[in-house]
Structure 1
């Protein structure tokens, strides 16, 4: 599952570190170039619920393996896109294909891992997301500097192929999966029941806000570091994505901490940490900016690990659909806020982006603070770390 998350994020965010290069090569504005990221996440968001429904009927493993195979083929095709329109179409298809893995992953872990170890398991899965995002971005930036962005995207396709093969042949088989009815009436009833839960609605809102902030920071950080007073080259900008290692460590550590002290006490703290890091990026000293990005990344992945595990635990037997709704909110945030923040960049550069994103962080923090007193569902122990 670590490798599955690795491949997903590596392919999904491949164009993020080369947005300035794509903007120059295709003669488009920065906000338009960012669509190569935003439309990929939009495609993923649109297919999450259908993919989760299919995984309920045909199995988690089958859905995840098919998703990685299709996505790897599309990743290779992206390297030969003739124009920016073709690139955008392929990015949408890539996101749609990848949806099958995250749609089933949280449900698979919820079914196959013992409750007392689910926090650690979710942490390791999301650590794979972070490491994949870092490795993919850095590899693309490095190969683009050495050759071209087309070679870089082809190289990332090869990386995805290796991860896909290992995932396909090494993933333990499902032992606790039970097929569910996927008739529209049943799916609608399950969705209505999940959205009626106050706690889940708040977790979905936090996912929308925080993923939007995270995507925006890394979308426009490259543009900022490319300009004075930093004037960094493509490889140096790509090296900034090595800070994803902080997210990998944060996810694994947070997963263990959740099992010990609980999600209620941890979620708001992680969001607060990400907000503090975001504020620090306003500095005009490179070291301060890097510390700010590292702090922001640490807090973001800690919050995501905490919230996603909470959704899986709280949703019970509807965990696949709940995970899809959570991730749909998550990637819609990446698409909507990730694109709209481009307008803030064009209006007032990095200060404008930071101001807009700070508002999102404040809203997420208020929502997480209110979750501290969330009532447990019937059949779950009240006010325990697990619920």
Structure 2
């Protein structure tokens, strides 16, 4: 038997900017985003180490990441439904702590199969954070400040993604890949404890009692039938398609003539994530003030311009293009994430899980298609593919209705 959550009008007031609860929630979710994405991507710079230590082909070593992201994509979908039945804070804490523990197990895995098993379970555990974090913010934050808060969470994911890639290279230089993975796992446990201590409990969400499959199917069906939400889901697909495809194959370009950069030099490209840490909250504040459409279109347009700039042969211009791609991506992702929560009047966890399912599906599909574009068209083919997708994203953004009138009184 299920119970209907209380209407928002019968629950507590939302969290407003400038309050202690706002600061605590933002820092807690910054920790959640940072921990999730550092755990997820920490193996990316270790793939050559795995290939050497376990005697693997490069394609096989990449399973340490691809299996984790595949499990994450499926788990996000399930977590969106589960989050309607349980405490959002408890679910996110359990996901963070268990994923960090899996990373520690992967660090001491005696063989390749054991490492892959630990990493696959880790991806499944991580699924309890992204969709639920988006739903929590959409429910608890004052709608006037939602985009800014979402931007800070996305900034945490940017920092985590950078730390998991660049930081691991430094840690491996100091010790071994096992000690480096253990260090990231330990950080994940500390972040989980800090998250649980800081995040205010949900005050505007009442869990349903009992699991009713029909309700979840109806919620997903309703969100997919909403034209605005469906376009936002498609934009999530576009954003990660462009970002991941360009980042995946720029390393191949820079490793060849005339640049001939080694792995250490190529890994410094991920320092561009620093721009994402600042651009995502900035984009969120713009959306809070002016509405979502203009910042979303602007973010995608910056990504498109960045992709075109990378066509230059001069290395500093290529780096500039990568930075523009990063800035545009994090602006657009933070705005789109918040807009999903605003358009989904009910069952926000289901809406968030659908957005992230499209988001990670774009990474998987276009990551492969990008390889074909690189093989047959070189970097020009890569830019043609991603710029075309970005332009499609602009068309989708233009067609989304934004019923919220921007509130400029508190800017």
Deviations 1:327-363 (A, max 9, x none): 1111111222223323434445544433332332222
1:323 has 2:344 as partner = no
Structure 2 unaligned spans of 5+ = 1-28
1:223 has 2:252 as partner = yes
Give the deviation of 1:6 after TM superposition.
0.7
* Aligned pair partner of 2:261 in 218, 232, 243: 232
Distance in 1, Cα, partners of 2:377 & 2:121: 33
1:179 has 2:207 as partner = yes
Quote the residue 1:55 is aligned against: 83
Q: Which structure has the larger Rg?
A: 2
1:95 has 2:123 as partner = yes
Distance 1:225 1:18, change over 3 A: farther
Question: Aligned Cα RMSD in Å?
Answer: 2.3
1:41 has 2:69 as partner = yes
Structure 1 unaligned spans of 5+ = 377-381
Distance in 1, Cα, partners of 2:180 & 2:260: 22
* Aligned pair partner of 2:271 in 217, 235, 242: 242
1:151 has 2:179 as partner = yes
1:384 has 2:380 as partner = no
* Aligned pair partner of 2:318 in 285, 289, 307: 289
Contact kept, 8 Å, 2:48 with 2:58, in 1: the verdict is no
- Aligned pairs for 1:248-287 (under 5 A) are 248-287=277-316
Distance 1:36 1:335, change over 3 A: farther
Distance in 1, Cα, partners of 2:172 & 2:319: 22
Q: SS of 2:258's equivalent?
A: coil
* Aligned pair partner of 1:64 in 78, 85, 92: 92
1:196 has 2:222 as partner = no
1:11 has 2:39 as partner = yes
Distance 1:192 1:64, change over 3 A: same
Distance in 1, Cα, partners of 2:366 & 2:64: 14
* Aligned pair partner of 2:192 in 164, 175, 186: 164
Q: How many residues align?
A: 377
Distance in 2, Cα, partners of 1:228 & 1:284: 11
Give the deviation of 1:321 after TM superposition.
0.7
Q: SS of 1:180's equivalent?
A: coil
Q: SS of 2:83's equivalent?
A: helix
Q: SS of 2:283's equivalent?
A: helix
Distance 1:352 1:37, change over 3 A: farther
* Aligned pair partner of 2:137 in 98, 104, 109: 109
Contact kept, 8 Å, 1:56 with 1:180, in 2: the verdict is yes
1:128 has 2:161 as partner = no
Distance 1:280 1:81, change over 3 A: farther
Give the deviation of 1:179 after TM superposition.
1.1
Quote the residue 1:379 is aligned against: none
Contact kept, 8 Å, 2:301 with 2:394, in 1: the verdict is yes
Higher mean alpha-carbon deviation, 147-156 vs 312-321, is at: 147-156
Contact kept, 8 Å, 2:47 with 2:58, in 1: the verdict is no
Distance 1:82 1:370, change over 3 A: farther
Distance in 1, Cα, partners of 2:61 & 2:303: 26
- Aligned pairs for 1:316-355 (under 5 A) are 316-355=345-384
Distance in 2, Cα, partners of 1:127 & 1:265: 20
Deviations 1:75-121 (A, max 9, x none): 12233445655544433322211010112101111222111111111
Contact kept, 8 Å, 1:141 with 1:237, in 2: the verdict is no
Deviations 1:240-290 (A, max 9, x none): 212111001111101111011111122111101101112222333221111
Quote the residue 2:6 is aligned against: none
Deviations 1:278-336 (A, max 9, x none): 22223332211111110000000011011110000100121111001111111111222
Contact kept, 8 Å, 1:20 with 1:223, in 2: the verdict is no
More helix per residue: 1
